[in-house]
Amino acid sequence: MLVESREIHHTHSRMFERALFALCLLTLVLFQSAASCELRPVLAQVPKRLPAGYVIPETKDGLSLKGCAAKPVAYTSSDPDFTVNTDGAIITVHGLEITTKQFSVLVQDENGMDWRVDIILSCKDEASQKSSSVALKRTKRRWRPLPFNLVENDKPPFPKDLETIASDSSVNYTVYYVISGQGVTTDPVGLFTLNRNTGLLKVTRTVDREQYPQFNFIARVFDMSGRETDEYLPITVIVQDQNDNAPEFIGGRFFTVEERCRAGTVIGKVNATDKDEPNTPHTLIKFTLHNATDMFSIDSFTGVITSKTNTLDRETQDKVYVEIEIRDMGGAPSGHFSRGTFVITLTDVNDNPPTFKEKLYKASVQENQENVLVTRIPVEDKDLVNTPNWKALFEVTKGNESGNFRMETDPKTNEGLLYVIKGLDYEKTPLVKLEITARNEAPLVGPENKWLSVPLELSVGDVDEGPEFNPDTLFLKVKENVANGTVIGTYKALDPEKKNSDGIKYYKMTDPGNWITVVENTGELKTANTLDRESPLVRNDMYNITIRAVDESKKTGTGTVIIKIQDVNDNIPMITNPDPILCNKGDTLSSVLVEAMDLDRPPYSIPFIFELGADHDGSWKLKDTTDSSVVLEQTMPMPNGLYSVPLLVKDLQGFGKEQTVNVRVCTCEREDNGGTCGARSASSSLGSLGILALVLSGLLLLLLSLLLIFICSTKRDKLYINDDTGTGGMLLKSNTEAPGEEVKEGALMIIPGIGLDVVDGSLQSGLMESKNVTTASGRYGQSFFQGGGVYNTTTQEFGTEKYYSSGRYDNNLYGNATMQKLTNASALDTWKTNGRYLDRKLAYFGDEEEGRYADDLLKTYGHEGMGSPAGSVGCCSIVGEQESLEFLNTLSPKFRPLADVCYTTNRTGN
């Protein structure tokens, strides 16, 4: 009974609620005006997977604006995944998968009003699609409420009822509800309250959507024992936007554009924003220009500013202040708006040429003045100061054909400065008319603009001037070699004021060759010396002099006389290579090129005529004649020597003389550059120098002989020499006439045991490098006086090879013991050392005090051949009669074999 009474109670409650709802709905309809109505969200269940083009027909009624006075005419979806058909049905744009989906559709009615309708899509419950038996066994219960909507800025009184939430578990249990989360227990706390028993949700105060676009909290349901009878329900409260914010400007407010830009030039973009909900009429901003509409325009929905004309003029107005309005609701009168001022700066272009302040300028200057400022010419320019569009450049466009003027610009005042750089002549032009043109550094813009010019009259003041030659430069033609005193011309000057030459005297200023004299009173020019065209003072046949004219007031003027000297035939051709070299090629005939030169010019020079002289012997002939050369060729082979060939050379006019060409025939070392003779052979004549050399060589040999006699007759001290050299005697044993293969070029005899305490300078000089003390040279020989001995060297030339022969004759046994630099450079030094060693050893064996005569000792000698006219070469044969000098008579044949040992012959090339 209790349960039944409870059910009856609930049934009555529901009936009461429905009646109350119908009454409220009737009241709302009655009080609704024709211009407004309230729309509820559209709820629809759809499959979890929606293919592209899926139609949700349940949305037609929700978007039809039922209960409103106007009908819908356009729909706009806030979600790009969905679009709205013209009948109000929502269609998917592409396939997608959802669990829940919430978006809004903007509905525009026929009166231009916009309405927002929230669309809430949820997946179909698969369990509800099963059989009824399965449905009775469900364990999960569902809440009936869906997301709620709340209008921002709602007017009091508060609290206001929002929605009622209920759980299906309330059918079986007595339950109560609890909410928590954003707007309830967290900031903003207490915004929402809930009737625990009925589930009625209320809002307690005004909400700002721009601060809180939606709220998310949860609702839970419990029975009286505190057990949760259903899963908690996430609740979303969407705050519906109202157009409560005016649009605002963002970004800069300054723009620039060139003056005279073409129409349609983009100047800049005005940016604005609106805090209301995006993509709704509340944020649809329209831009409107309120002034300067004849100069600029602005796009209503992009805010781009463009120029409207091509006549923007910076000089008229360089800054334009434009007022721009931005209004939401697409510019509807009911929309909120803001206004702002923007600055558009016009930049300068050169659209204004410099203009002159006067129509005619006048100035004056004294004649003959140079590099002086004549006048200043001011100009005006409307372009921006101190820019290339403003800075002026001036030019004399007429009247400056002679280059008398120069124009500059004063950088501070921008005035034109006219200078005279070359003096003017009052007598010629007392008044000079000029045209001055002014330009800018930058090019001029605009086809209608052009550079401007102004006339200027310059008066030239008269000054008493010196005489002037007319012309400034006088040209005269004179043949060279004319007689002295010949009048070649007259050069007079005029007084500029009097226009005559009265009282003017003439003087010569420059005359490099002193060839001309000037008659003082008449200005006549006469030759004073021979005019020579071939002189180095003449260049390109021109000879210059300068003349000075002096009037009675001592004022002067100068003039130049250029004399063109004409050529005459005053030079004959001369051979330039009178001593050629001809290379001897044996039986082959050779030739040599002979060249000539004439200082005159054609027709007084080339082509030359070459002929052999009358006294030629027929050994030569001429061939291959050119304008200035001829080939001289042998007619028969000739031995080496010097040959004189008479050669007659004449110019084109037949003037010339016979000249001698001395041809040297020789054996050439090189044949380039005309050939180079080699050294003369020994068979050639000696000449004076050769004879002198032979005489000197004979005298040196005589002196050497006397030195040897003196050495042999001089008493000598004892000298002990260790004779353990193992040489087998004084001479090397050899069966050949020349050194054997075992003998090296560097040392033909090795002398051991010779120390510095025994061997003195005379012996060391053979082992060491000798220093020349005195040299007597000749053509065929040279004598060297060295250390303690004299060495004679004779050189003979045979073709290109030289032969040297030398002999050594020592006149000092002990000599100078000074140490010299050791060297074994040549076999000649070795032979010198060997000779000194043999002399010392002979003296040792010839010592009488010890009784060791050379004839008491057994010596070993090699076989000397078939016999010798000199007999024995032993030392004992000459020491037996040591006290007598008669051995000198037989010294030569006995000495020759021993001297041959020391005699060396070196063959060297050049």
Q: How large is the average pLDDT for residues 204-224?
A: 94
Alpha-carbon distance of 519 to 526, in angstroms, equals 8
Q: What is the pLDDT of residue 879?
A: 45
In the predicted model, is pLDDT for residue 735 greater than 70?
no
pLDDT in tens, 29-55: 444 433 446 567 888 888 888 887 788
Q: What is the pLDDT of residue 910?
A: 36
- Residue 902's pLDDT band, with cuts at 50, 70 and 90, is low
Q: How large is the average pLDDT for residues 16-25?
A: 52
Pair 620, 703: CB distance under 8 Å:
no
- Residue 544's pLDDT band, with cuts at 50, 70 and 90, is very high
Q: What is the pLDDT of residue 37?
A: 60
| Strand blocks (E) in 78-113 | 82-84, 90-92, 96-97, 100-109
pLDDT in tens, 86-139: 778 888 887 888 888 888 888 888 777 778 888 888 876 544 443 333 333 333
Q: What is the pLDDT of residue 20?
A: 53
Strand 416-420 to strand 405-409: parallel, antiparallel, or no bridges (unpaired)?
antiparallel
- For residues 271, 274, 280 and 285, what is the CA-based torsion angle, rounded to 10 degrees? -40
Q: How far is CA 602 from the centre of its chain?
A: 53
Among 259-263, 451-455, 673-677, 789-793, the range scoring the smallest mean pLDDT is 789-793
- What is the token pair recorded at 580? 């050629």
Q: What is the pLDDT of residue 806?
A: 39
- What is the token pair recorded at 322? 């434009």
In the predicted model, is pLDDT for residue 3 greater than 70?
no
In the predicted model, is pLDDT for residue 299 greater than 60?
yes
pLDDT in tens, 751-784: 444 333 333 433 333 333 333 333 333 333 333 3
Q: What is the pLDDT of residue 114?
A: 79
| Strand blocks (E) in 693-831 | 774-777, 781-786, 789-798, 801-810
- N-term to C-term CA, the chain: 159
Q: What is the pLDDT of residue 2?
A: 33
Place of tokens 């002034």: 291
Integer angstrom CA distances of residue 673 from 128, 593, 668, 787, 871: 126, 11, 11, 48, 61
Strand 473-479 to strand 556-566: parallel, antiparallel, or no bridges (unpaired)?
parallel
Among 621-630, 645-654, 733-742, the range scoring the smallest mean pLDDT is 733-742
- Residue 858's pLDDT band, with cuts at 50, 70 and 90, is low
Q: What is the pLDDT of residue 103?
A: 87
pLDDT in tens, 684-710: 444 455 567 677 888 888 888 788 776
List CB contacts of 821: < 8 A, sequence separation 6 or more: 768, 769
- What is the token pair recorded at 635? 């007619």
The secondary structure of 410-443, three-state, reads CCCCCCEEEEECCCCCCCCCCEEEEEEEEEECCC
Rg (CA), the chain: 69
Strand 114-123 to strand 42-46: parallel, antiparallel, or no bridges (unpaired)?
parallel
Pair 317, 257: CB distance under 8 Å:
no
Element (H, E) at 761: helix 761-767
Element (H, E) at 87: none
User: At 6, is the secondary structure helix, strand, or coil?
Assistant: helix
- What is the token pair recorded at 62? 């929700």
| Strand blocks (E) in 354-427 | 355-356, 361-366, 372-377, 379-380, 392-398, 405-409, 416-420
Taking each continuous run of H as one helix and of E as one strand, the counts in the chain are 8, 58
Q: What is the pLDDT of residue 793?
A: 40
Among 285-294, 379-388, 573-582, 662-671, the range scoring the smallest mean pLDDT is 662-671
pLDDT in tens, 268-282: 999 999 999 999 999
| DSSP state for residue 262 in the 8-state scheme | P
Task: Compare 387 and 1 and report the one with higher pLDDT.
Answer: 387
Place of tokens 């309330």: 170
Q: How large is the average pLDDT for residues 374-379?
A: 96
- Residue 720's pLDDT band, with cuts at 50, 70 and 90, is very low
- The predicted model scores a pTM of 0.43
pLDDT in tens, 238-258: 999 999 999 999 999 999 999
Q: How large is the average pLDDT for residues 732-739?
A: 48
Average pLDDT value over all residues in the chain: 77
- For residues 886, 890, 894 and 899, what is the CA-based torsion angle, rounded to 10 degrees? 90
Pair 785, 773: CB distance under 8 Å:
yes
pLDDT in tens, 802-857: 333 334 333 333 333 333 333 344 455 566 677 776 777 666 655 544 444 444 45
